[in-house]
Amino acid sequence: MVGEKQRSRLWKAGILRRMFAGIILVGISYFCYLVFFQAPGHFVYTHANTHAQCMIPQINPFDKDILAFFWQPDPIVCTQNTELVYIDDNDTVHVNYSRTHLEVVNCSYQNIIRETENDNEVLFKSPVWFSKSSKLTSDFIKVQCYDYSGNLLYERLHYHIYKSGKKFTSDENRFSVLLLGIDGMSRLAAIRELPKTLKYLQDTLQGHILKGYAKVGENTFPNMVAFLAGRIGYSKDFPVDPNVFFDNHPFIWNNFSKDDAVTMYAEDWPRLSTFNYAVPGFNQSPTDHYFRPFYLGINKMRKYQSTINEALLFLENQNIKVGKTSTLCYSDKPKHVLQLDYYKRFLKSYRNKLKFGLSWLNEISHDYVNFIKLADDDLLDFLTFLKEDGHLEKSVLFFVSDHGSRVDKIRNTPIGRIEERMPFFSVVLPQNFKDKFPQAETNLRTNIERLTSPFDFYETIVDIFKNEYSHSTNVVQYPLSRGISLFRNIPKQRSCADAGIHEHNCACYTSENIPVNNTKIERVAAFVVTKINRDLHHLKEKCITLTLNKIIEAKLVHSQLKHNEQYDDKKFMHNFIKPKEDTSRRFLILFDVLPSAAMFEATVEETNAIEFSVLGHVSRTNRYGNQSSCINDKRLKLYCFCK
């Protein structure tokens, strides 16, 4: 009898284990399906003639078609504040005995430094012991504290701004440049997600938000290269080699450094950061203060945690809570707050010095646009600090993004697809700048309604660096370089071609549906797949040849967007589906391929009855995860499916 009961218990336990394993397997499978294969179709508004005058789309940010994709996530919950040590403004670390009942705590710190000729590894140096305080010699330290029995009480990374003694020039006669960026945020998304921040930006700081600012490249890299170097990424203009560091490229911060300005660059998500994803980054620290080692130190302490965090963040976006605290935290603070605090420390440490600062936030916005609203109060706090602490008196502030949401479901809508091409861009000018250069500010105000791009952003920074500003009311005449400073009068009749915006990225025009089941569209799709395979040909030992699976959408592209200032939703969409007749034959197609289940969109021109050409690049519109982990080519990773 006892044996039967035991067998019954074992049998039930076995069933429960199998059920649990099954649930886990289904959950993992569903997660992989959503992350790697499931993606919405995309309707793209494409400029059919980049040499025609651009009309900026006037769009309601609260259009009912996109509000369905926005919801209020739960607030970020981190652990309670347990900082056992703190760093003061004199490069000294102290034990905070108010946080413990112990009379004596033994702590050590280890300087965190970059590996030689390696932008992806850090070293924890030999420990320095202290029980009260100790002087520091680097920006980042790992701290461990123990009780009298040797039990670990505390372990955490800390940051501050270590001033090495290098002499920097005063900002007495020039203006500093402060950049704050959020990845993947359109102008309309900023209106929806950051109402407090934008109200303060416009009402109190009198900031200017550009309505016609458009991206010039698919993702962060080419857009950042455009405004930091004035170059075209992935071209002879700005070559990219997975084995060559970026140190010798002409980033604008180098100009500031040569003039003895102090520089800072901070960007989170070290695995996917702009100049490190599939490329080696920098051999030497690119700026005087560089936040990357801090994040690398976190990852070194918690191996594999960054990969796990990506899965947990996905679950958070589904309102599934796995733990008590958010993935967006490091210890007791959200990671974006830490990065903003590092920026604050940089500014306070170099008051009255000429500065170039860049802080770029990825994790809170890159994949899930709804998380941006969780930073509204913190961004408001940062802007308030800038004003009240006097840092905007001699600095021009640029609060910007690189593009709109690229892979989130909002891009399922026609309006969302325009947003993807029109990122947020704002600028705040010091009052004494406006007093000295009133025409430059007038030109900037005029340019709010003009087509602009990251190349113009770059030329604007160059003007600030050179301390040269336009006093002219004249409209800039052609021919000229692709970038025009925002302090000059940009032509109203400007086209995407004039602004350096390729046809595939220009959001000024629209298209109409055409059937996918016709011979012409099938030939267009087959042509694009052939082009992708041809681009991957030199990697054929690693990448599988792709085959066309299904054509999802096809559009006939037109050359002009109708626009009514008194529009409502119906009028707006009515104008989109009834554009003027186009004299050219251009197609926008969305299709998927096998075996990768990759979804691609491309703009294709029919050059004659039997020939086609792809305009711009072929875009990947769903996630690809680790599908292309076998190659390092940053551009081709979008297409490769490893064998």
Exposure of 28 in the CB half-sphere (CA atoms within 13 A): 7
At 394, the pLDDT band (50, 70, 90 cuts) reads very high
pLDDT band at residue 33, thresholds of 50, 70 and 90? very low
- Alpha-carbon distance of 288 to 491, in angstroms, equals 38
Q: Span 605-630, mean pLDDT?
A: 85
Q: Left, alpha or beta for 597 (phi > 0: left; psi -120 to 50: alpha)?
A: left
Which residue did the predictor score with more confidence, 493 or 329? 329
Average pLDDT over residues 294-309: 88
* pLDDT at residue 409, as a whole number: 67
Sign of the Cα torsion 331, 333, 334, 335 reads negative
What is the Cα Rg of the chain in Å?
A: 27
Give the distance from CA 372 to its chain's centroid: 12
Q: What is the pLDDT of residue 145?
A: 97
Statement: residue 371 has pLDDT above 50: yes
pLDDT tens-digit series, residues 571-582: 444 444 333 333
User: How confident is the model over 354-368, as pLDDT tens digits?
Assistant: 999 999 999 999 988
- pLDDT band at 629; cut points 50, 70, 90: very high
Pairing state between β 262-267 and 152-159: unpaired
Q: Are 614 and 260 in contact (CB under 8 A)?
A: no
Q: Are 525 and 551 in contact (CB under 8 A)?
A: yes
Query: Is the separation of the CB atoms in 353 and 100 below 8 Å?
Result: no
Residue 116 pLDDT? 83
Omega within 30 of 0 (cis) for the link into 57: no
Nearest-CA neighbor of 322 among 24, 83, 558? 24
Residue 630 has pLDDT above 90, yes or no: yes
- pLDDT per position as a tens digit, 219-251: 999 999 999 999 999 889 899 999 999 999 999
Task: Compute the average pLDDT of residues 518-544.
Answer: 96
So what's the pLDDT on residue 31? 52
The yes-or-no verdict on residue 127 having pLDDT over 50 is yes
Q: CA-CA distance, 32 to 38, in Å (whole number)? A: 9
Q: Which of 56, 30, 32, 33 is nearest to 45 (CA)?
A: 56
Lowest mean pLDDT among 6-10, 39-43, 82-86, 97-101: 39-43
User: For position 572, what pLDDT does the model report?
Assistant: 43
Helix (H) or strand (E) holding 124: strand 122-124
> How many secondary structure helices (H) and strands (E) does the chain include?
16, 22
Contacts of 343 (CB under 8 A, 6+ apart): 180, 264, 266, 357, 359, 382
Q: Which residues pair with 289 in a beta bridge?
A: 264
Give 545's DSSP letter.
Answer: P
Percent of the chain topping pLDDT 90: 64
List the single range of 24-38, 151-165, 314-328, 420-434 with lowest mean pLDDT. 24-38
Query: What are 49-88's pLDDT values in tens digits?
Result: 566 677 777 778 988 878 888 888 999 999 987 899 999 9
pLDDT for residue 252 is more than 60: yes
Residue 505: its pLDDT value, please?
87
Q: Tell me: the pLDDT tens digits for 450-491?
A: 999 999 999 999 999 999 997 778 888 765 668 999 999 999
The pLDDT assigned to 510 comes to 53
Specify the range with the lowest mean pLDDT, choosing from 179-193, 373-387, 390-404, 487-501. 487-501
Query: pLDDT by residue (tens digit) across 409-448?
Result: 676 567 787 899 999 999 999 999 999 999 999 999 999 9
pLDDT tens-digit readout, 562-617: 333 333 333 444 444 333 333 457 888 999 999 999 999 998 988 766 788 898 78
What average pLDDT does this structure show over 169-178? 95
pLDDT, mean over the chain: 87
Signed CA dihedral, 601, 603, 606, 607: sign only: negative
Residue-level pLDDT at 634: 87
Provide the percentage of residues in the chain whose pLDDT is more than 70: 85
Split at pLDDT 50, 70, 90, the class of 9 is: low
Cα distances (Å, whole numbers) of residue 39 to 15, 410, 489, 528, 590: 35, 11, 41, 20, 12
Among 314, 343, 5, 22, smallest CA distance to 176 is for 343
Residue 94, judged by CB atoms within 10 A of its CB (0-12, 13-18, 19+), counts as: middle
Cite the DSSP H helix spans in 147-213.
187-193, 195-199
254-276 pLDDT, tens digit per residue, is 999 999 999 999 999 998 999 99
pLDDT score for 564: 37
- What pLDDT band is residue 408 in, cutting at 50, 70 and 90? low
